[in-house]
Structure 1
Amino acid sequence: MNKGFSLVEMIIVFAIMSVMGTVVLTTYMSIRKTGDATRAGMVQVAALVNANARARVMESDTDWGVKVSSTSTTIFSGASFATRVGVRDAVYSIPNGLTITGPSEIVFAKFSGTPSLVGTTTFSNDYGTSSVYVWLGGIIGN
């Protein structure tokens, strides 16, 4: 009787391990991608709440806003992103590969916190969707 493994046994074990590895990796990637839209939505809500609070307390005696792009969410001071005071920016990255729909820039008026516009910003990919709402009066939710 020979001791050890035959070539056929080693090939079978390797094939089984390859299939199991593929299943685990695919599941992991799917779970990770599912959370991307949720994370982006949470970052957006936090940024909007922060900008609204800064506007209401009249920090730096100016309006505050939020600009979302494909890679980041930026809290800025000023009447618009184009005319902002860049040194006050707070930039937060969001996951890549998301489709973003809705308003890309919302500015809150100093003291009242009234948003320049109301609407829904949606972050989505093939695995999930997260929506962020801005209502009249500066109410923010998801």
Structure 2
Amino acid sequence: FQNRNDLDIAATVFAQTARRAQVLAQAADGDTSWGTRAQSGIIALFKGVNYEGRDTAYDEVFDMPSSIIVSGTQEYVFTKFTGLPQTTGSLTLTSANNETRTITINTKGMVSY
């Protein structure tokens, strides 16, 4: 039960973080793009055109159990003003008991999971 709960929470947090990044980008908050990234142990909202070159002062980091495996497209950046994603694809989160949750972001920026 705990694994499934952790997985559901991680999927919801990633989807909500992606939606928030999109809204911030559409508002041109900070006059730049915004994005989200999932990697082992964290989900991050960031300001900038990519995670590596982000402004770390604006990071919002959410813990994710390290037992959850992240695969697929791990980083999405939304373009300033339009809020459209620079990349599209799916992120898959897999729990220790091999249950999965997939979050998809399409060309219009719609987040579904």
Q: Does the TM-score normalized on the shorter chain lie above 0.5?
A: yes
Q: Deviations over 1:92-137 (max 9, x none)?
A: 1112201111111110000001101111101112152111110011
Gaps of 5+ in 2: none
Gaps of 5+ in 1: 1-30
Letter aligned with residue 64 of structure 2: I
Pick from 80, 85, 91: which aligns with 1:121? 91
Look up the match of 1:138: 109
SS at structure 1 position matched to 2:15: helix
Q: Deviations over 1:47-84 (max 9, x none)?
A: 10000000001101100001111101111111111111
Letter aligned with residue 60 of structure 1: G
Aligned-pair identity (%): 25
Q: TM-score, normalized by length of structure 1?
A: 0.76
Look up the match of 1:53: 23
In the TM superposition, 1:30-109 aligns within 5 A as 31-109=1-79
Greater C-alpha Rg:
1
Which structure has more strand as a fraction of its residues? Answer: 2
Letter aligned with residue 81 of structure 2: F
Letter aligned with residue 109 of structure 2: G
For residues 68 and 99 of structure 1, the distance between their equivalents in structure 2, rounded to whole angstroms, comes to 10
Contact 1:35 1:128 in 2 (8 A): no
Greater length-normalized contact order (CA 8 Å, ≥ 6 residues apart):
2
SS at structure 2 position matched to 1:33: helix
Letter aligned with residue 97 of structure 1: S
Contact 1:38 1:129 in 2 (8 A): no
Q: TM-score, normalized by length of structure 2?
A: 0.94
SS at structure 2 position matched to 1:137: coil
Letter aligned with residue 108 of structure 2: G
